[in-house]
Amino acid sequence: MSQPDVIVVGGGIGGLGAAYSLTRQGLAVRLLESAPAFGEVGAGIQLAPNCTRILDDYGLLDEAKSLGVVPDAMVMRDAVDGAELTRLDLRHLEQRYGYPYLVIHRSDLHGLLLRACRRAGVELVNNAKVTSYENTDGGARVTLANGETHQAGVVIAADGLHSVARKLLVDDQPVSSAYVAYRGTVPAEQPRVQAVDLSEVVVYIGPRCHFVHYGLRGGELLNQVAVFESPKALAGQEDWGTPDELDAAFEGTCDFVRDGLPYMWRDKWWRMFDRDPVMTWVHGRIALLGDSAHPPLQYIAQGAIMAIEDGWVLGEHVARNRAEDGTVDWTTTLSAYEAVRPEHCRRVLTTSRKWGELWHLDGLAREQRNVLLRARDTYDYSFVDWLYGPTALTPEEEPELFTPIPLDSAELPEPAQAVGTP
C-alpha cells in the first residue's frame, strides 16, 4: 500500500468533505472510518448559503437541491400560543447571498459527499478505528486498534465530539447542555403533513423547549425535532432525556406542537453536548477538523456547515501553498488554516449557546424577547451577514460580528387595567 499525501480520520460529513476538497487539489487522500460501512444517523439538516456556496464550487449543488427542499421562508413562532414572531424570506435571502438556503436529509448529504469522494478517487478504508496519533520526521502517523499503522505528510482528524486527536492539544471534556433532542420523520400521506406548509422551515420557541419542522426529499417527508431541558440531567441523574420527560416538557405548548410529539422516534434521543472553544487546532502535522475542533449546540444550524467550511478552507490554502512540482508547504498551509477557522468557529459556538438561551426564555424575559422579534424587519440581515456571506480564507476577510440587542430595551405594552380600577 503506497503512502498517501493526506490521511483523513473519520468518515462523517466533515471527513468526507475534507477528503473531497483535498483530492480536488491533486492530493492522494486515504480516509479511515471506524465503522464497517459508511452511513449517517439522524434526519434533516439545514444548509445556509455559506455552505451551498461551497457545494456549488464543488459541483455538487444541483445534486443536493434534487435531493432536498429549497424552502421559501424560515418562520419563528411562540411555542406557547403559536403566534408568529419573525421570519426570513429565504428566496430574498438567496438573492442577497447568491446561493440558496437548502434543507436535506443528513444521510442524503452524507451519501452525496461519499459518491463524490469515490468519483474523485479517495481511498476509503472501513473497520479502521484510530486509537493514537503521532508526528513523524516527515509527517504524521496513526495507529489503529488492530495495531496497524498508516503514515502521510499530514493527518486531518475529523474524529468527532469524542476526538482522540484533540487530547494532543487540550485536556477537556464535552459540556452537557442538559438539553435533549428527539427526532422523527412523517410520510407525506399522514394527516399531520397536510396541516403544514412544506415550503417553510418553522421553529416554535418556548420555555426550556423548542420544536422544529420542515419538509425533506422534495416534500415526501416532514422532518420534526423536539428539544427540551431535562430535569433529570439538572438533578445529575444518569438516565435523562427519557420519553416521559419529552411529554412533560411540552405540556404547556400549543396544540400544533403537542400533536407532533406522537410522531417522534421514542426509542432514540440525542443528548446535546458541545465543547468550550479552543484556538489551537494544529499539532505539528496533525490538524483538527469539524466536531473534533468545534462541536456546537445546534441553535444556528452550523455544525455540519462549519466542518464543510473547514475542509474547503484547507483545500484553498493547499492551492495557495503548492509548488510547481506539486509539493505542499504544509507548515504554511496549516498555519493559514489555524489563523482563520478557530476564531470563526469560536463565534459560532458562543453565539449558538446564547441563541439557545434566547429561545428558551420564560416569564418577563420571554415577553421582552417576543417584542424585539416582532419589531424585526423581515429583510433585516444584520444578525446573519457575518454568517451567511463568503467563507473567510484570512482573518482580514472575517466580517464583523452582529451587535446584540439588550432584552431590557424592549418596550412592553402597559397591562390592561380591570374595569373599575382607579
What amino acid positions are annotated as catalytic residues? 214
- Alpha carbons within 13 A on the beta-carbon side of 217: 14
Using alpha carbons, select from 327, 2, 29, 293 the residue that is nearest to residue 155: 29
Task: Tell me the C-alpha distance between 350 and 345, whole Å.
Answer: 9
Residue with cell 451567511: 388
Q: State the Cα–Cα distance between residues 112 and 110, nearest whole angstrom.
A: 5
Name the DSSP class of 69. B
Using DSSP's 3-state secondary structure scheme, residue 154 falls into: strand
DSSP string, 1-32: -PPPSEEEE--SHHHHHHHHHHHHTT--EEEE
Q: What is the rounded CA–CA span in Å between residue 277 and residue 33?
A: 25
Cα 225 from Cα 244, distance rounded (Å):
16
83 phi, psi to nearest 5 deg: -75, 145
Element (H, E) at 44: strand 44-47
Angle at 365 between CA 359 and CA 368, to 5 degrees: 95
Phi, psi dihedrals of residue 208, rounded to the nearest 5°? 60, 20
Strands 149-152 and 282-283, sheet pairing: unpaired
* 269: Cβ contacts below 8 Å, ≥ 6 apart: 180, 181, 182, 241, 242, 243, 246
The C-alpha cell that represents 69 in the structure block: 427542499
Taking the C-alpha atoms of residue 27 and residue 294, their distance in angstroms, rounded to an integer, is: 25
Residue 28 exposed, middle or buried by CB count within 10 Å (0-12, 13-18, 19+): middle
From the number of C-beta atoms within 10 Å of its C-beta (0-12, 13-18, 19+), residue 256 rates as: middle
